[in-house]
Amino acid sequence: MKQLSGLDATFLYLETPQMPMHVGALHVFELPAGFKGRFVTALRKHIAARLPEAPVLRRRLWWMPLNMANPAWVDAEPDLRQHIVEVPLPPSARHGDGMAELQAAVSRLHPVLLERTRPLWKFHVFEGLAPGAGGQRRVAMYSQLHHAAVDGQAAVALANAILDPSPQPRAAQAPRAALPRTFELGMSEMLRGVLGAQAQKVAQIIRELPGTVGTLGGAAGQAIGQSIGRGRVPLLSGKGAGNLTLAPRTPFNASVTEARAFAAATLPLPEVKALGRAAEATINDIVLWLVATALRRYLAKRHALPRASLVAAVPISLRAKGDTTADNQASMSLVNLGTNIADPRRRLAHVKAASASMKSTMGPLKGILPTDFPSLGVPWLLEAATALYGKVKVAERIPQVANVVVSNVPGPPVPLYLAGARMLTNYPTSIVVHGVALNITVQSYDQSLDFGLMADAKAAPDVAALAAALGVALDDLRVLVGSHDADLAAAAAAATPGLVDRTTRRVRAVVDETIGRAARQVASQFTAQVASGVAAQMAAGVAARARRGVLGGAVGATDGAPGGPGTPRIAIEAPPEAEAGSRAGARSGSTGGPKATPTPATKRARKAAGKAAKVSARVTPATRSPRASSRGRTIGTPRK
């Protein structure tokens, strides 16, 4: 006989028809090729052989007189026909994957309480699923284990005892001796045991009290210091990444009923790990961010998203490494989910900071958090308080400290087999309580991250939509990490350019300089050609007008010539040098004949020629085409 610890027994005292306190999982199996018969029969045979390795399956409760203290565990032989039962599925399960029918079956079976006169466990086998992708026959199983017997880590240890790493089951242990079906203790023996156990627990608390007070003081100071450092007042503000805050009111903060709604989701574990590494976040951080993102989207579509952030109650294991004892060694902490932050990148940073704050605060407390305490009179007190709490709906009248329970339990990293059948999925099923009507438990298995969402059917009847939102949240994370990687690459390239980047910049500069020089040369040549063409056209036009003007002047002068009127004379135009000499001679007073008066046409021709000379001079000598002048030298060439 072993008396239950205070924490284990609490799950018994809190249990009501509205709050069943058993946990479990929904598994889908693929039967081996050639399997014949009913899987429930093979499973009973397999469990019978593994009972020596699974003591949690072969013990039941022994109640103390007048329920004055915690009950005890005593050995008991389970009736496998009562504990492993077959449940038929509707014909619709033969079409598709059958998950909708399985989830509906779990929702129907989960509120049913386990019989306390028997060992507190039960397996439900579902037949009638459609074959798998490879044509293999499939079955499913929903397991129930009371939380008074196991926590998450103890359930994993139990799975390791009854599951195998290969299709061929390992050799079973030697058969154990038959156990008696009844167990009797005298009244005096039970009273002595109860009083002695209570005295030992009180003495242990007194011995550990000084160290406990010091640790609590240090942890409280650290938590308050972190909150004040972030500009927050504990328990009064909903801002920042601190976790000391009250939870806002949501549809999940209600008294639960006797109905349940269950949904499941699977995400690829290797990708989640890779995204976590890229975002410099742990798996726990990523799980919390996925849940926060899904909750934000789910509540926003229902116009129920509060302005303040939702708070998650996160179980933390107090179990030492390697401890596989079948009991509860866990406590609860709080994490601010940042659901009030619209930016997914800022929300991820918030979740990481809140998770780190929780770990730094709870780390020193793990060694002092009690899992056992004196229980004399506790059963009466807890059972009465639980009944009253549910009847008057206290959860809807007082502020809550959490909106949802989020638990992440590491599972086996390799595929496992049960009675030769390969396990394909491992969706956890957990408990909901008054005031927190939603529980999201995650367990890794093989290459999958399996989510099990259990909710009160009245508070969240469409919990399947929340499960679907987890897949959308993973898409958001893919986009977020992809953009984050791009930003990091750009920042790294700008901060520390590598050889390729430097070479690219040099080549680009050389190419730009070469193209620019060539473009300037082409532009200069084009401008020179255009200017030369315009000057030539203007010069040709001026010369033509000049010739017409000179000829007209000469013809007009014959009217006053000695030959009489009408006698024609042809005037031949002298070269410029001769004309200049004649002008100079006339100015010096030499006898070169009378001074000729230029006609208006001649004046206009000379004026146009001067303008043409000015336009031609504007062309840069270095860029215009060289041409021969009337004096035998090249224009643009300096005189020697």
Catalogue the active-site residues: 147
Q: Which of 214, 260, 217, 250 is nearest to 107 (CA)?
A: 260
The dihedral built from the CA positions of residue 83, 87, 93 and 94, taken in this order, carries a sign that is positive
Rg (alpha carbons) of the chain, rounded to whole number: 49
- Burial per residue of 556-577, b for 16 or more beta-carbon CB atoms within 10 angstroms, e otherwise: eebeeeeeeeeeeeeeeeeeee
Provide the residue type at 599 as one letter.
Answer: T
DSSP string, 299-354: HHHTT---SSPPEEEEEEE-PPTT---SS--EEEEEEE--TT---HHHHHHHHHHH
Bridge-based pairing of strands 22-30 and 421-423 is antiparallel
- Distance from C-alpha of 55 to C-alpha of 75, rounded to nearest angstrom: 8
Residue type present at position 536: A
Q: How does DSSP assign 201-259, residue by residue? A: HHHHHHHHHHHHHHHHHHHHHHHHHHHHHTT--TTT---SS---SPBPP-TTSS---S-
Question: Cβ contacts of residue 376 below 8 Å, gap of 6+?
Answer: 68, 69, 194, 198
User: What's phi and psi for 171, nearest 5 deg?
Assistant: -65, 135
Q: Are 133 and 314 in contact (CB under 8 A)?
A: no
From the list 401, 410, 481, the residue with the least C-alpha distance to 449 is 410
What per-residue string of b and e applies to 150-179 under the rule 16 or more CB within 10 Å gives b?
A: bbbbbbbbbbebbbbeeeebeeeeeeeeee
Q: In terms of DSSP bridges, do strands 138-146 and 404-409 run parallel, antiparallel, or are they unpaired?
A: unpaired
DSSP conformation class of 54: -
Find out whether 330 and 317 touch, Cβ atoms under 8 Å: yes
